[in-house]
Amino acid sequence: MAKRGGFPGGGMPGNMANLMKQAQKMQRQMEEQAKELETKEFTATAGGGAVEVTVSGAKKLLKLKLSEEVVDPDDVEMLEDLVVAAVNEAFEKVDEESASSMSKFTGGMGGGMPGLF
């Protein structure tokens, strides 16, 4: 009696098994890429270099460098704004690097594949 439905040999067809292997490989590579990104450092400045920050790929502030002339006790608000601007620019660099490295895997699919990422 012939089997109805299913696949010969009871397993996944070759193409499906190969697709699963490729997906698992891609996921491992993406995890490695994410770990590598976390170890990188990104530096940004504001106020013409008066404020310099360095953040990690994991979005942790690592260094903050201020030039003496930007430290004005009568204008703390400007210094705060410069620090915020520099930190946000550094975080944008992290996001750009992350998007760029992930696009290698998604091939420009726009948002990835639901359930895999």
Q: What digits encode the pLDDT tens for the residues 5-43?
A: 555 555 556 788 888 988 898 888 888 888 888 999 999
Distance CA 95, CA 89 (A): 10
Average pLDDT value for residue range 49-67:
95
What confidence tier does 66 reach under pLDDT thresholds 50, 70, 90?
very high
The neighbouring-strand residues paired with 55 are 42, 61
Distance CA 88, CA 84 (A): 6
| DSSP label of 111 | S
Q: Residue 117: what pLDDT?
A: 44
Average pLDDT, the chain: 84
Half-sphere exposure of 34 (CA within 13 A, CB side): 8
pLDDT, tens only, 83-117 = 999 999 999 999 999 888 878 776 655 555 455 44
Report the share of the chain in percent with pLDDT over 70. Answer: 79
Going 28 to 30 to 35 to 36, the CA torsion angle's sign is positive
